[in-house]
Amino acid sequence: MQPLPLNIPHYPMLRFVARRGRGLVLIIAAAMLLAGLAMAWQMASVIPGAVVIVAAIVVFVVGRALVEMVELITDMLLPK
């Protein structure tokens, strides 16, 4: 008798985000922060740079929350 193949779905993006998500969010937020600081330094008005700096903080907080949600999903719901 042949063994039945299990139809276990693979979720490569969930696993990628669970493994590398924290670092990617940190790199993206740091790049945005540096861009905002450069904009504030180079431009005549500080407002665009300040907007990008605030957006970098929001990206970091929201990105970390989403990465933690993906980690929770992969830890609790996916088969190991």
pLDDT in tens, 19-35: 999 999 999 999 999 99
Burial 10-43, CB ≥16 within 10 A → b, else e: eeeebeebbeebeeebeeebeebbeebeebbeee
Model pTM?
Answer: 0.81
Measured N-to-C along each axis, helices 47-76 and 12-42 cross at an angle, to the nearest 10 degrees, of 170
* Residue at 13 is within a domain: no
With beta carbons less than 8 A apart as the criterion, state whether 14 and 74 touch.
Answer: yes
* Residue at 64 is within a domain: yes
* Residue at 63 is within a domain: yes
Structural domains in the chain (count): 1
Range of the domain at 42: 19-76
45-75 pLDDT, tens digit each: 999 999 999 999 999 999 999 999 999 988 8
Residue 9 pLDDT more than 80?
A: no
* Residue at 1 is within a domain: no
**What mean pLDDT comes out for the span 32-43?**
95
